[in-house]
């Protein structure tokens, strides 16, 4: 059977299975288990209404529990154990963590991740805010925004290919085909640079790829927030003689502070998970390792599930403050 046919069949089975489950389980509840008539009609209706939400929720909860909640616990367990040759696991306490902490590659990944965490959210948010503000009042603003938003649709892998061409280097005597080197030579650079192999700075060339992708996201959200600012505050500032920069930094930015924070944290999470860009462009060579790629290396190249899981827990730990913050905000909003 061809995969395409298999795919169609899966859609059919999946969709009809879902609909069938919801329909039949509701029918069963109303017709068989607690029919809303007969001697206990009132009690039955109440009981049916208590159970029904869980019928609606069950498949989703099962998926959430199995694919997201259980792995957190299981990864924690794996990070504290070691595979015994021949099968089974042995409790090793924090050995995996101390082994990881002894590896220079891990600290290289941590150091790079810290730079990623500062540079990418900051630059994406700043560029996003800049574009949102600049395009707010010009007639072709929507067109400009849609072009800057476009990289959002491009895969990290596709973006890696796009930027590898930008960073391409040819020997000095040839014409440069990477635009960065062509500009570099044009503005008086002596030798063409292989940008991705220059230690320390090469990480920043990888970050640019993610900034390029994430700016559109920041722009869309911040642009909506800017439009939501009450006009009276700005009119009042103009009457008081504020100049455009004062209006922007002293009136507008403070009013969209929470949105900026939301954008910042959302991009932070994306950064912590970034894998494809590093994997495709340098694969962690030349001191560009990051946590997610380090973890992939450990899990699937070194086949070391203990240390791999330990590094995954480090990522989880870094995400945890944002998770708590989000949950608290969501609860506050619902009250």
Partner 1 sequence: MSDIAGTKPALRWVVHLSVIFLVVLWVIPTLGLLVSSFRTADQISSSGWWRSLFPSEQNLTLRSAAPETQALENGLYVIEGALFSADEQATISRWGISSRDVDAFEPGQTVELRRGGTITVDAVGNYRMENSEEFTGNRGARIFVTAELPPEFTLDNYQKVLLDQSSTDSMAKAFFNTLTVTIPATIIPILVAAFAAYALAWMDFPGRALLIAAVVGLLVVPLQLALIPLLKFHLNIGIGKGYLGVWLAHTGFGMPLAIYLLRNYMAGLPRDLIENARVDGATEFQIFTKLILPLSFPALASFAIFQFLWTWNDLLVAKVFLIDATGQTTVMTNRIVELLGTRGGNWEILATAAFVSIFVPLVVFFAMQKYLVRGLLAGSVK
Report whether 170 contacts 192 (CB < 8 A).
yes
Q: By CB under 8 A, what part of segment 232-291 binds partner 1?
A: 234-235, 238, 244-245, 247-248, 258-259, 262-263, 266, 269, 272-273, 275-276, 279-280
Q: List the one residue from 32, 39, 175, 190 that touches partner 1 (CB under 8 A).
A: 175
Smallest separation (angstroms) from partner 1 to the CB of 35: 13
Number of residues that bind partner 1 (CB under 8 A): 123
| Beta-bridge mates of residue 318 | none
Q: By CB under 8 A, what part of segment 107-126 binds partner 1?
A: none
**Can you tell me whether residue 83 is helix, strand or coil?**
strand
92 contacts partner 1 (rule: CB under 8 A): no
Angle at 165 between CA 163 and CA 166, to 5 degrees: 60
**Of 314, 8, 256, nearest in space to 136 by CA:** 256
Binding mask 27-56 for partner 1 (x = CB under 8 A): ---x------------------xx-xxx-x
Q: By CB under 8 A, what part of segment 292-311 binds partner 1?
A: 292, 295-296, 299-300, 305, 308-309
Q: List the one residue from 217, 256, 307, 310 that touches partner 1 (CB under 8 A).
A: 217
3-state secondary structure 255-308: HCHHHHHHHHHHHHHHHHCCCHHHHHHCCCCCCCCCHHHHHHHHHHHCCCHHHH
Q: List the one residue from 118, 122, 138, 302 that touches partner 1 (CB under 8 A).
A: 138
**Of 103, 108, 107, 96, nearest in space to 282 by CA:** 108
Q: List the one residue from 118, 122, 177, 302 that touches partner 1 (CB under 8 A).
A: 177
227 contacts partner 1 (rule: CB under 8 A): no
Smallest separation (angstroms) from partner 1 to the CB of 300: 8
**Distance, CA of 3 to CA of 326 (rounded, Å):** 40
């Amino acid at each position: 059977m061809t995969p395409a046919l298999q795919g169609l069949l899966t859609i059919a089975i999946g969709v009809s299975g879902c609909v069938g489950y919801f329909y039949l389980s509701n029918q069963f509840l109303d017709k068989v288990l607690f029919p809303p008539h007969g001697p206990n009609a009132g009690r039955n209706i109440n009981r049916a209404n208590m159970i029904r939400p869980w019928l609606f929720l069950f498949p989703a909860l099962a998926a959430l529990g199995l694919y997201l909640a259980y792995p957190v616990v299981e990864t924690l367990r794996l990070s504290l154990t070691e595979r015994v040759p021949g099968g089974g696991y042995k409790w090793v306490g924090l050995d995996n963590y101390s082994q990881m902490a002894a590896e220079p590659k891990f600290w290289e990944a941590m150091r790079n991740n810290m730079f990623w965490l500062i540079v990418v959210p900051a630059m994406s948010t700043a560029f996003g805010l800049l574009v949102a503000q600049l395009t707010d009042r010009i007639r072709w603003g929507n067109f400009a925004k849609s072009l800057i938003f476009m990289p959002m649709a491009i895969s990290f892998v596709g973006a890696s290919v796009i930027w590898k061409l930008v960073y391409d280097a040819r020997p000095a005597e040839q014409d440069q085909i990477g635009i960065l080197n062509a500009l570099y030579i044009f503005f008086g650079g002596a030798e063409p640079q292989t940008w991705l192999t220059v230690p320390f700075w090469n990480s920043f060339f990888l970050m640019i790829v993610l900034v390029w992708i994430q700016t559109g996201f920041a722009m869309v959200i911040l642009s909506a927030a800017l439009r939501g600012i009450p006009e009276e505050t700005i009119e009042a500032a103009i009457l008081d003689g504020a100049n455009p920069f004062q209006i922007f930094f002293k009136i507008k930015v403070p009013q969209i502070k929470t949105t900026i924070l939301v954008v910042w944290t959302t991009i932070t999470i994306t950064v912590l998970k970034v894998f494809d860009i590093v994997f495709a462009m340098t694969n962690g060579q030349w001191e560009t390792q990051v946590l997610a790629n380090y973890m992939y290396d450990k899990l699937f190249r070194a086949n070391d599930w203990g240390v791999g899981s330990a590094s995954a827990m480090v990522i989880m730990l870094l995400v945890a403050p944002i998770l708590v913050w989000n949950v608290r905000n969501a609860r506050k909003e619902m009250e």
